[in-house]
Copies of this chain bind each other. A is one copy, B any other.
Amino acid sequence: MFNIALFGAGRIGQVHAVNIAAHKESRIYSVIDPNQSAAAELAEKYQAKVQDVESAMNDPQVHAVLIASATDTHADLIELAAKHNKAIFCEKPVHLDIDRVRHCLKVVEQQKVPLFIGFNRRYDPQFRQVKTLAQAGNIGKAESLLIISRDPSPPPAEYVRVSGGMFRDMTIHDFDMARFIIGEEPESIFAQGSNLVDPAIGQAGDIDTAFIVIKFPSGAMATIVNSRRSGYGYDQRLELHGEKGVLTATNIKENSVEQWDQTGCTAAKPEHFFLQRYSAAYAAEWQHFIDVLAGRASPECSGIDGERALYLADKALESMKSGKCVAL
């Protein structure tokens, strides 16, 4: 039974708490959050302790930390946990500044602790199945990848201002997905963007709609279609075209009911947002981390993946500003 110290009692922390508690090999040992009452409430539900950062890090009972706290605390907590020899599960991103990320990863490397970065979409049953079938050779050599990724509705402009921009905040998932599915490091990137959804986002210096084209050394290409607002729920799809065919992963609808009448056919929307769509993915990534803790696996998705995705975000921004395809 692995004892987990959970950093962050907010929305995403609670999602992880359910999976930690439900897994037969793990339990929530302690909750750490600057918001004391949130920490206390979550701890009580799972009969866990409330700790502060220092006591959790120094507690020999803690086998691993799950970092689901504010983004700007991730790198510090990772370094601290690494220095205390705790295995680490950290929500993406490591940090919004790539130099800070690189420094952090060096510390982890020196300490030789396992670090798993929670790119949840890699564990979505649809996308995972695409990867599995592609690796099995079902469609031959990969040639082009199409990633459609649209949020249900835009975040407030205040959030946008501290988010690092759409590429670092939202597209970063898609950059990781492109690398995950194609299995190569990109060699060039081009990005085009617009501010169409909310003028406040433009005023905050950001875009809300983007098309990105990535080329890989093998000649394979990927395009990412992004928007901060779909109008019909969370739109998360991909298509991988290969020499023998295509693998497509579509949205999951809220239910399978259709109504047919004089106006045609009406059906449900896609599941609303990431908590719904990726609920199975959160459970699956926890299973993987348990396998890491038990020595049955190494982290499939580690600090280097976080760094590479952030690097692509930085270069996409450079491309959009210059109107040029940027070599990587």
Residue positions of A touching B, CB distance < 8 A: 18, 22, 24, 45, 47, 125-126, 129-130, 133, 138-141, 143-144, 146, 148, 150, 188, 190, 192, 194-197, 209, 211, 213, 215, 219-221, 223, 225, 227, 229-232, 235, 239, 241-270, 323-325
Contact = CB atoms under 8 A, between A and B. Distances in A.
Contact of A232 (B219, B221, B260, B324): B260
Nearest to A247: B259
B246 A259 contact: yes
A324 to B, nearest CB: 5
Given A18-B22, A24-B45, A257-B130, A209 B221 contact: yes
Nearest to A319: B325
A253 B126 CA distance: 11
This chain: copies in complex = 4
Contacts of A215: 192, 194
Given A255-B125, A260-B246, A323-B324, A143 B196 contact: yes
Contacts of A197: 143, 243
Task: Give 3 nearest A-B pairs by CB, closest first.
Answer: A245-B261, A232-B260, A194-B219
Contact of A262 (B133, B144, B245): B245
Nearest to A265: B267
A44 to B, nearest CB: 11
Contacts of A190: 190, 192, 213, 325
A231 B243 contact: yes
Given A194-B219, A211-B213, A213-B211, A269 B265 contact: yes
B249 A257 contact: yes
Contacts of A227: 143-144, 241
Contacts of A139: 231, 259, 261
B213 A196 contact: no
A258 B139 CA distance: 12
A264 B260 contact: no
A267 B172 CA distance: 29
A213 B129 CA distance: 29
Contacts of A133: 257, 259
Nearest to A210: B221
A23 to B, nearest CB: 11
Contacts of A262: 231-232, 244-245, 269
A22 to B, nearest CB: 7
Contacts of A230: 241, 245-246, 260
Contacts of A125: 254-255
Contacts of A146: 146, 148, 225
Nearest to A320: B325
Nearest to A128: B255
Contacts of A252: 256
Contact of A223 (B130, B194, B223): B223
Contacts of A138: 259, 261
A239 B258 CA distance: 9
A216 to B, nearest CB: 9
